[in-house]
Amino acid sequence: MTSKLKLILASKSKRRIQILNDLGIIPDIILPANIDETVMKGEIPSALSTRLANEKANFVYQNKTNDMKDSLILSADTVVAVGRRVIEKPISASEAYSAMKLLSGKNHKVYTCICIIDADGNYYKKLVETRVRFKNLSEEEIKHYIITNDWVDKAGGYAIQGRAQSFIIKISGSYSSVVGLPIYETINLLKGLGYDVYRN
């Protein structure tokens, strides 16, 4: 039974794929979910992360084919926030600059929710909260960072494993969750649902 379970990753994130590959887990299918990630009015960051992870997994579940019948669908969503304010993925250099100015010298939280849907359509979710503190950033540091384009397609405008790692004074929680996929929680959920995490 366990050896027959397939894993579908509902994400195009290279970072999430790499995390799984580093653990020896190779998704059988990678199927990005096409959903609207717009923040709803009054939606708090933790609720946003949970909702989007749920919607990503559900999108793939609703569109799966017969060859995906014996599968687990894994999705995740990462949200960066200062207080109740969500810092979305910047779509321009000016937005990336604003994100860095907001994060500079402050504590912020990174929420990553993972969602797994089993073959029977049951949902299993886990939300992980991590606290990160940035140092005070100079104008020179911010401007140089913007030029690198390392902020592109990154929640909060940065990747903890990228150039912005030199900005971080302290992290309290899951490093891999800030990258995009909390390893401990993901492995435990997969194992608990009968997926053989050691098969590769």
Q: Domain-by-domain residue ranges, the chain?
A: 2-192
Sign of CA dihedral 9, 59, 125, 42: positive
Kindly list the distances between the CA atom of residue 13 and the CA atoms of 18, 40, 95, 102, 159, in Å, as whole numbers in the listed order.
9, 23, 21, 25, 12
Q: Which two tokens stand for residue 93?
A: 């250099």
CB 35 within 8 A of CB 14: no
- Measure the CA–CA gap between 50 and 53, rounded to whole angstroms: 5
**Under CATH, what is the fold of the domain 2-192?**
Maf protein (3.90.950)
The residues pairing with 8 across neighbouring beta strands, listed in sequence order, are 29, 73
> How many other CB atoms sit within 10 Å of the CB of residue 192?
10
Catalytic residues: 77
Q: What is the pLDDT along the chain (200 residues), one digit of tens a residue?
A: 344 789 999 998 899 999 999 999 999 999 988 898 889 999 999 999 999 999 999 999 998 877 778 899 999 999 999 999 999 999 999 999 999 999 999 999 999 999 999 989 999 999 999 999 999 999 999 999 999 999 998 999 999 999 999 999 999 999 999 999 999 999 999 999 999 998 76
